[in-house]
Amino acid sequence: MARLKWSFKRYSEFLKDYGFVLGHINGSHHFYNGKILGEQKVVQVIFSSREKGCQSNRTIDMGIKNSGIPKKYFEEWNNSGKIHDDIIY
């Protein structure tokens, strides 16, 4: 699957569409809390000029793992804005 090149803003919008809310901020690290498939999840999004407008591979990969949302859902949202409401509870 292709690499997701998302800005801080785009990544935050995706998480909000999946029911995540900003929990807290620690410097440039923003932590979003959500519930996927009945489990509480915390995902980190980094706001940094070093990221050059794009989240690093590591940040995106950790977000996919920590969110509990399959990577294909990230890609579908990126391509068409589709949200899989059945996993949000």
Q: Hey, where are the domains in the chain? A: 8-87
Tens-place pLDDT, residues 15-32: 999 999 999 999 999 999
Helix (H, G, I), strand (E, B) or coil at 11: helix
Residue 7 has pLDDT above 60, yes or no: yes
CA-only gyration radius of the chain, Å: 12
Report if pTM > 0.95.
Answer: no
Q: What string of DSSP letters covers 16-83?
A: HHTT-EEEEEETTEEEEEEEETTEEEEEEEE--GGGTTS--HHHHHHHHHHH---HHHHHHHHHH---
The predicted structure's pLDDT at residue 48: 80
Task: Band the pLDDT of 50: cuts 50, 70, 90.
Answer: confident
